[in-house]
Homo-oligomer: A and B are copies of this chain.
Amino acid sequence: MVDDRTARVALTWLAEPGNLPVWSLVEECGAEATLARLLRGDVPDKSLRAAALAKAAALDPRRLADLTLRRADRLGARIVVPSDDEWPSRVESLATLTLEGTTRVHRDTRPPLCFWVRGARPLGETLERSVAVVGARAATPYGLHATNEIAYGLAEQGWTVVSGGAFGIDAAAHRAAMAAEGRTVAVLACGVDRPYPQGNSAMFDRIAETGLLISEWPPGAEPLKHRFLIRNRVIAAATVGTVLVEAAARSGAIQTMGRVLALGRVAMVVPGPITSAMSVGCHELLRSRPDTTLVTGLSNVLETVGQIGEYPVDVPRGPDHARDTLDEESALILEAVPRRGAITPEELAVRAGLPVRTVLRRLSLLELTGLVEQRETGVALRPTS
């Protein structure tokens, strides 16, 4: 026999995460007994039985689980199961999620059996106060600006920023949270040892150092297309609410929002120009789902996810430019950057009358919002700003 942990790893290999019959069996008789039943073909669901037996014939799942656990250990990844203290209990609400639709993606939305985790922080605590910020890969400068403002601010206020690690809005959300020296969690649809897309690998390494990379799939797992759709339910379930920044019509991020709404979590949507293809999905969602909340920036998001009254509501001002959204320190620093040429952070600190540490911290925000850029000679105003 194998223990609960090993059994869960083996089960995740025999059937994709979220599988309804597997999860029901585990609920009924535990992971070890479920694995034993699958291995002797003693399960009512025909297609699950056939698939599991075929896979088990190719490679003993218990042996595979052992190998995977040892491999993960070498990679610095750990496995987290429901009996662990750091299990993120909020994902258990997937147990009762019901979606309209008859495909497997609609049916197989049960809670994860386990999480693979890279990063030092405890998983449950990190996700306790978390907000997802998701959106289009083909994000526009407008969407990236909105993401920066919201994710930076959330992280600064102590919220963990959760996203999917993709190009565009997802990556901007992770980066902004790290720029604020806050916490961020990337929920992957592949192994935590080979996070996808590779183009973001430097970012993933930084996330593993300061936040968490998590996945339901074992190390080595490929980012197959359908896995993103399975993964999305975790982003929806693990967080207090989700902010959709930009999305084309019928995009993957819209699918995530469907799960957010079905779970009764807060579904926040950033509107945009009606002339932008990347806001079509956002507007469609706002029109079709009255239970979504239109948010115009950080203060709306904090107001929505926070305890009522915990955050004072800003009187709407509607700034026209990125610089108008700056806090006082950032504005002082921006003011101190010379019109031409570059300046070192140390000189900048003197000019702005602020500690160097503060200047360095704020510069990352200014860089993210596209107002300044780092050059070899120091910090300079961006030509367009």
Q: Given contacts A287-B300, A293-B287, A294-B287, are A318 and B146 in contact (CB under 8 A)?
A: no
Q: Which residue of B lies closest to A273 (CB)?
A: B273
- Bound-state Cα–Cα, A128 to B154, Å: 50
Q: Which of A240-290 contact B (CB under 8 A)?
A: 248-249, 270-281, 283-284, 286-287, 290
Whether A194 is near chain B, meaning CB under 8 Å from some CB there, is no
- Bound-state Cα–Cα, A162 to B99, Å: 44
With most chain B CB atoms within 10 A of its CB, the pick from A249, A280, A283 is A283
- Bound-state Cα–Cα, A283 to B248, Å: 20
- Bound-state Cα–Cα, A335 to B354, Å: 56
Q: Mark A303-339, 1 if CB is under 8 A from B, else 0.
A: 0000000000001111111100000000000000000
The residues of B that contact A296 with a CB separation of less than 8 Å are 274, 280, 283, 287
Q: Which of B271, B284, B290 contacts A274 (CB 8 A)?
A: B271
The residues of B that contact A320 with a CB separation of less than 8 Å are 275-277
- Bound-state Cα–Cα, A142 to B294, Å: 20
- Let me know if B274 and A270 touch, CB within 8 A: yes
- Let me know if B287 and A318 touch, CB within 8 A: no
Q: Given contacts A274-B296, A296-B274, A296-B280, are A318 and B249 in contact (CB under 8 A)?
A: yes
- Bound-state Cα–Cα, A284 to B319, Å: 14
Q: Given contacts A287-B293, A294-B286, are A273 and B142 in contact (CB under 8 A)?
A: yes
Q: How far is the CB of A365 from chain B (nearest CB, A)?
A: 16
The residues of B that contact A249 with a CB separation of less than 8 Å are 315-318
Q: How far is the CB of A214 from chain B (nearest CB, A)?
A: 30
Q: Given contacts A296-B280, A296-B283, are A275 and B145 in contact (CB under 8 A)?
A: yes
Whether A297 is near chain B, meaning CB under 8 Å from some CB there, is yes
With most chain B CB atoms within 10 A of its CB, the pick from A270, A294, A319, A321 is A294
Q: Given contacts A286-B294, A293-B287, are A318 and B271 in contact (CB under 8 A)?
A: no
Q: Which of B272, B300, B315, B321 contacts A271 (CB 8 A)?
A: B272
Q: How far is the CB of A141 from chain B (nearest CB, A)?
A: 10
- Bound-state Cα–Cα, A273 to B271, Å: 7
Q: How far is the CB of A16 from chain B (nearest CB, A)?
A: 31
Q: Which residue of B lies closest to A279 (CB)?
A: B318
Q: How far is the CB of A241 from chain B (nearest CB, A)?
A: 15
- Let me know if B318 and A280 touch, CB within 8 A: yes
Q: 4 smallest A-B Cβ distances: which pairs?
A: A280-B318, A277-B318, A271-B271, A274-B296
Contact sample, A vs B, 12 pairs, CB 8 Å cutoff: A146-B274, A249-B316, A271-B294, A272-B274, A276-B318, A276-B320, A277-B318, A277-B320, A278-B318, A280-B316, A280-B318, A287-B293
- Identify 16 new A-B residue pairs, CB closer than 8 A, beyond the known A271-B279, A271-B286: A142-B273, A146-B275, A271-B272, A271-B274, A271-B283, A272-B272, A274-B296, A275-B318, A277-B317, A277-B319, A280-B316, A281-B316, A283-B296, A284-B316, A287-B294, A294-B294
